[in-house]
């Protein structure tokens, strides 16, 4: 059972986490949801299309202008509070690596801290424990926040992913983060080249076998673009193919831009796997 905020999700229940970037320089939408009203409209649409989690980020993952903790908090804290007021049932996640920002958004109503940079600030897990919220434990290959990998190597990339993410999850548990609210994430593209991310996908079942719920953040990433030689705006098909493979291998939570399309892929895979009945079954029965 995965428990986040007021929501509980069964073992075979796929969960969509919709991305809402409060940044003026997002790699995907170039700031489309930087202002409050477009961002709130995005939340409303994502929830209507089937997202159970809204992931709010105040700093783009890639290199760019410096964003201080104060500025990150300014972009996210008030917005978290407003989303909490308007959408009381939705699970609110905040994508941050900073403990002080994590504490501020938890005070505002966040249910989950999405630590995409692999525990670079150990205090973030302590914040999650203090507030009783969930935590995403990600493999980033030891990279510093907002840096790109350069000639990174692993003897065995999945072995390193398992060592880091399970270690972070066990530390979080020892600090008091609820076990049912901890997830592990292989960190596609983070501290990895394209071949590493493809191998992490191919071997995702090894993460699932640990017993920790697995979150994947695949949406329109560079490893999809390089695999197919496609620019950012032409990576949806590759993303959905990777989503289907990840679902078949047992990932549970999907951080995405395209909510409606992802919902259809996850429902189809769940039905093929026998975990979901068809929405309609008339063929050959009339």
Residues facing 135 on adjacent strands: 113, 182
Residues facing 185 on adjacent strands: 138
Catalytic, 255? Answer yes
Exposed, middle or buried, 135 (CB in 10 Å: 0-12/13-18/19+)?
buried
Point out the catalytic residue in the list 22, 192, 221, 235: 221
Catalytic, 3? Answer no
HEC secondary structure over the chain: CEEECCEEECCCCCEEEEEEECCCCCCCCCCCCCCHHHHHHHHHHHHHCCCCEEEEECCCCCCCCCCCHHHHHHHHHHHHHHHHHHCCCCEEEEECCCHHHHHHHHHHCCCEEEECCCCCCCHHHHHHHHHCCEEEEECCCCCCCCCCCCCCCCCCHHHHHHHHHHHHHHHHHHHCCCHHHEEEECCCCCCCCHHHHHHHHHCHHHHHCCCCCEEEECCCCHHHHHHHCCCHHHCHHHHHHHHHHHHHHCCCEEEECCHHHHHHHHHHHHHHHCCCCCCCCCCCCC
Handedness of CA 143, 106, 5, 260 (dihedral sign): negative
Exposed, middle or buried, 183 (CB in 10 Å: 0-12/13-18/19+)?
buried
Tokens at 187, concatenated: 């960190």
What amino acid positions are annotated as catalytic residues? Answer: 221, 255
């Amino acid at each position: 059972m995965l428990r986040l905020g007021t929501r509980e999700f069964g073992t075979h229940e796929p969960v969509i986490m919709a991305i809402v970037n409060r940044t003026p320089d997002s790699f995907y939408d170039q700031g489309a949801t930087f202002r409050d009203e477009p961002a709130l409209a995005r939340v409303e649409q994502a929830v209507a299309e089937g997202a159970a989690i809204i992931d709010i980020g105040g700093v783009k993952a890639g290199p760019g202008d410096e964003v201080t903790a104060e500025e990150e908090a300014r972009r996210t804290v008030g917005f978290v509070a407003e989303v909490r007021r308007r959408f009381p049932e939705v699970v609110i996640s905040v994508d941050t690596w900073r403990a002080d920002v994590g504490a501020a958004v938890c005070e505002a109503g966040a249910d989950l801290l999405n630590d995409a940079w692999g525990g670079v600030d150990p205090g973030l897990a302590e914040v999650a424990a203090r507030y009783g919220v969930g935590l995403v434990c990600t493999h980033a290959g030891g990279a510093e926040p907002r840096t790109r990998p350069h000639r990174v190597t692993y003897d065995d990339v999945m072995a390193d992913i398992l060592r880091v993410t399970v270690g972070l999850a066990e530390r979080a548990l020892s600090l008091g983060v609820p076990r049912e609210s901890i997830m592990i994430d292989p960190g596609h593209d983070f501290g990895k080249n394209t071949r590493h991310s493809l191998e992490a996908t191919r071997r995702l079942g090894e993460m699932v076998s640990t017993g920790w719920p697995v979150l994947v953040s695949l949406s329109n990433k560079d490893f999809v673009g390089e695999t197919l030689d496609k620019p950012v705006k032409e990576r949806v098909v590759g993303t959905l193919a990777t989503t289907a493979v990840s679902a078949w291998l047992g990932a549970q939570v999907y951080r995405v831009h395209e909510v409606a399309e992802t919902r259809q892929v996850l429902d189809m895979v769940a039905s093929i796997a026998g975990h979901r009945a068809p929405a309609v079954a008339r063929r050959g029965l009339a």
